[in-house]
Amino acid sequence: MPALKFVRAVWESFRASSGLEPRLLDGLRVTHASPGRVRFELELQKEHTNRLSILHGGTIASMVDLGGSLAVASRGLFATGVSTDLNVTYLSSGGKIGDLVKAEVTCDKFGKTLAFTSIQFKNNQDEVFARGSHTKYIAIAWKDPNNIVEELTPKSENK
Q: What tens digit of pLDDT does each residue of 79-104 get?
A: 999 999 999 999 999 999 999 999 99
pLDDT confidence of residue 154: 79
Q: What are the domain boundaries of the chain? A: 3-151
Hey, CA dihedral for 70, 71, 72, 77, is it positive or negative? positive
Q: What tens digit of pLDDT does each residue of 11-53 get?
A: 999 999 999 999 999 999 999 999 999 999 999 999 999 999 9
**β pairing state of 100-110 and 37-43:** antiparallel
3-151: CATH class: alpha beta
Alpha helical stretches, state H, 3-111: 3-17, 21-24, 57-73
pLDDT confidence of residue 40: 98
- Integer Rg of the chain from CA: 15
Backbone φ and ψ of 139, nearest 5°: -55, -45
**Which residues, other chains included, contact 137 with Cβ-Cβ below 8 Å and sequence gap of 6+?**
81, 82, 83, 84, 113, 114
Q: What tens digit of pLDDT does each residue of 48-69 get?
A: 999 999 999 999 999 999 999 9
Mean pLDDT computed over every residue of the chain: 95
